[in-house]
Structure 1
Amino acid sequence: MAFIVAMVMSAFGKRIIAEEIFLDSLPQAFEGFRILFITDIHRRRLPQALLTSLKGPVDAVFLGGDMTEKNNPLNRLLSNMALVTSIAPTYAVHGNHDYNANTSVVDNIIRGSGAVLLMDENVAIERAGALLWLTGVNFSMNRGETSYPPLPPLAAVANACRIILVHDPLWLSQRSSVPADLILAGHTHGGQVVLPFFGQRHVDAFYQEYSAGWFTLPKGDESQAFAKLLISRGFGTARLPLRFRSPAEIHVLTLRTNSSTQKGEFQSQ
């Protein structure tokens, strides 16, 4: 019983992980730019008091899909979207559970909140005359190994700093190159319930290696540079509200240029 209680408590945790991300091509104008990254909310209600306190320090909110799920009350999605869009400009991509819900109604709520829903699109975020490019990869209903379309090009943009927001990191498995500086993903829940000795019992071998946390990937172009990948464990749960050795998490990411010597003011909670 104590073990089950501990798993439920882990599933309903409200941990914020605050980290600094150093990017080679980040424009100086975006030094200290803060992103609130939340993915896999599912049926949970976002913590209003905790997130409202981030209004001001946070410059943008990125939602990595599964903002709701089938039979989740629509007023919960309405409330969650109203909260995040009150904090900062919000950008979102679909997850598989968003498609299992009433997609047209879900999309109307997302767009009606003022959030930008990216479906294989680029958007430029401007700050002091400089641009940071965000590409939103739409979830593939065919599970994504081969059915994702090519990334939308950044036409005539030299030395652009690009962030890719994608729900399922499996998208990476069929790519020969990763034309981005930072990729943010979710979907895996970090295994959600990770038992000793058994590890993470995912169907696809890809998730055995890429389950949760930070990874470094070669861009695969002539630059011989590397991209950073974050796979979040997410905030909600699939099926049962249980977690073990994979706690719920929300991220505050502070972007830094490589010339920066500053330290962030946030601490993980």
Structure 2
Amino acid sequence: MRYLATILGVVLSMSLFMLKKAFEINIRRQDIQLTNFSDQNPFRIFFISDIHRRTIPNRLMRQIDSEIDAVIIGGDLAERGVPLKRIQENITRLAKIGPLYYVWGNNDREVGEQHIRKYIQNVGGTILENQAICIINQKQRVWIVGIDDVSAGLADIEKSLNNVPKEDMKIFVSHTPFVFSNVKEKYKLNVLLAGHTHGGQIRLGKWGFYQKGSLIKDLDKATLISNGFGTSLIPLRYGAPAECHILSIKHKSSTNVH
């Protein structure tokens, strides 16, 4: 009986620990240096994906002390069963950080596509559905390119990049990172952003259903796959912390390129 009580105690303690981890606020502040970004001032992105059932809390808002040029929601803003009021409040809060851009995730339409469209429209945000939006940062043209939900067969990568000059800087956003290898072979992209995997959500050391999220810098390119902010199925995390990101894109001198 004593052993059973000990085992139950360990299980309960571990569950509480993983529950606490699922609701952490971790803002990753990461620099990306690119040779074809010429402005003296950095271009700052707040990137968040996989919010699911979580609420964007005030304590997160208070920690964002940088001027943000673009807020990008990388899909799975919600899922079936999330109250519409919570979704609306999350969108409203994120829109206060900076101009809002959003791509569809595989769970979002479960709450009713018309609701998300209305809430994003109400805050002046943009839904990127196989299209690109040009932002002028000082004298630098920056394109935010977003594709629709891959799992629903709605993504059209070629269409999304149709009108984007090859020499311009491009930030490519997809909810799922599984298209990245194909996209990188065909197109010259500078920054790629995705979520979806939750970093495996529960990991044992290096073992997890998916790889842990990371920012990978390769020559003049950066790929970020986020662990995401919320959880799916069960509100527990272990070894793949909840996270969102402030990315500062800066100029890198060609003399430093190896």
The Cα RMSD (Å) is: 2.3
* In 2, Cα distance between equivalents of 1:235 and 1:153: 28
* In 1, Cα distance between equivalents of 2:197 and 2:164: 35
In terms of mean alpha carbon deviation, does 177-186 or 20-29 score higher? 20-29
SS at match of 1:123: strand
User: Is residue 52–residue 87 contact of structure 1 (8 Å, CA) maintained in 2?
Assistant: no
User: Is residue 147–residue 160 contact of structure 2 (8 Å, CA) maintained in 1?
Assistant: no
Greater C-alpha radius of gyration: 2
Give yes or no for the alignment of 1:132 onto 2:132. Answer: no
- Give 1:222's aligned residue: none
- Give 2:14's aligned residue: 3
For 1:116-164, what per-residue CA distance to the aligned partner results, in whole angstroms no more than 9, with x for missing partners?
11001000011224311110111123478xx644243354735200000
Distance change (3 Å), C-alpha of 1:194 and 1:178: farther
* In 1, Cα distance between equivalents of 2:181 and 2:165: 26
* In 2, Cα distance between equivalents of 1:143 and 1:192: 25
Q: Which amino acid aligns with 2:213?
A: A
Task: Report the TM-score when normalising by structure 1.
Answer: 0.82
Q: Which amino acid aligns with 2:89?
A: S
Structure-to-structure mapping, 1:159-170, within 5 angstroms: 159-170=167-178
User: Is residue 52–residue 83 contact of structure 1 (8 Å, CA) maintained in 2?
Assistant: no
Given the alignment, which residue of 238, 241, 245 partners 1:251?
245
For 1:48-105, what per-residue CA distance to the aligned partner results, in whole angstroms no more than 9, with x for missing partners?
2331452652222111000111110011111111111111111110000102221122
- Give 1:34's aligned residue: 44
* In 2, Cα distance between equivalents of 1:50 and 1:149: 33
* In 1, Cα distance between equivalents of 2:117 and 2:178: 23
Distance change (3 Å), C-alpha of 1:196 and 1:54: closer
Work out the percentage of aligned pairs sharing the same amino acid: 31
Q: Which amino acid aligns with 2:147?
A: V
Distance change (3 Å), C-alpha of 1:5 and 1:177: same
Q: Which amino acid aligns with 1:150?
A: E
* In 1, Cα distance between equivalents of 2:73 and 2:120: 11
SS at match of 1:14: coil
For 1:1-22, what per-residue CA distance to the aligned partner results, in whole angstroms no more than 9, with x for missing partners?
1111110011000011101111
Structure 2 runs not aligned, ≥5 long: 1-11
SS at match of 1:135: strand
User: Is residue 205–residue 239 contact of structure 2 (8 Å, CA) maintained in 1?
Assistant: no
Distance change (3 Å), C-alpha of 1:107 and 1:76: same
Q: Which amino acid aligns with 2:224?
A: L
Given the alignment, which residue of 153, 178, 203 partners 1:194?
203
Give yes or no for the alignment of 1:212 onto 2:213. Answer: yes
- Give 2:114's aligned residue: 104
Distance change (3 Å), C-alpha of 1:86 and 1:52: farther
- Give 2:132's aligned residue: 122
User: Is residue 148–residue 171 contact of structure 1 (8 Å, CA) maintained in 2?
Assistant: no
Give yes or no for the alignment of 1:64 onto 2:74. Answer: yes
* In 2, Cα distance between equivalents of 1:55 and 1:84: 14
* In 2, Cα distance between equivalents of 1:98 and 1:228: 26
Structure 1 runs not aligned, ≥5 long: 202-206, 218-224, 261-269
- Give 1:265's aligned residue: none
Give yes or no for the alignment of 1:16 onto 2:27. Answer: yes
- Give 1:266's aligned residue: none
For 1:28-67, what per-residue CA distance to the aligned partner results, in whole angstroms no more than 9, with x for missing partners?
15x3221111110001001223314526522221110001
In terms of mean alpha carbon deviation, does 44-53 or 123-132 score higher? 44-53
SS at match of 1:87: coil
Q: Which amino acid aligns with 2:178?
A: L
**Segments ≥4 residues shifted beyond 4 Å:** none
* In 2, Cα distance between equivalents of 1:254 and 1:226: 15
For 1:182-233, what per-residue CA distance to the aligned partner results, in whole angstroms no more than 9, with x for missing partners?
0010000000001247x112xxxxx55xx4202356xxxxxxx653110000
